[in-house]
Amino acid sequence: MAEPETTTTIADPQRPVFAATITPHRSMNPSGARLVLILCCLAVVGASIPFIVLGAWPVAGFLGLDIVALAIAFRASFRSAKSVEEVVLTPIDLLLRRISHRGEREERRFNPLWTKLDREHDEDYGLMKLALVSRGERVVIARELSPPERESFADALGEALAKVKRGM
């Protein structure tokens, strides 16, 4: 009777140990912003009528400028929400990829064995900055996350880095 063959499985060096995609949080969607703009327009029209009746019609124009400024601010906010930050850790590579809201790509690669996480804590607010440090280079990551989310992200990435450093 033949003995079963034992094979040792070696982890695929390109298979991600950790992967995360970070996008900016927006508490309001475009339809909500549209509703806010419509309500503000109605309020401005209601507030402008007495000024127009009294002959102070330029006030209505300046109130209208406020609505235009609000619309521009919403548009800029939603445009910047298109940015993405990706962190992918494999046994042989740590990839940091950033794609700006304009579509500009930036990629940085680190050796996970030489990379550590640098955490900047504040007593009142929690984890304020998280950075990858390798060979004297310091790159701040997860800027779009809130301090509690950043802490959770740092813990997960730190565990994955430790796992890679131990040899999986």
Q: Per residue in 135-157, pLDDT tens?
A: 889 999 999 999 999 999 999 99
Q: Per residue in 65-106, pLDDT tens?
A: 999 999 999 999 888 888 999 999 999 999 999 999 898 999
pTM: 0.72
Calpha distance 60→119 (Å, rounded): 51
Query: Do 158 and 89 contact (CB within 8 A), yes or no?
Result: no
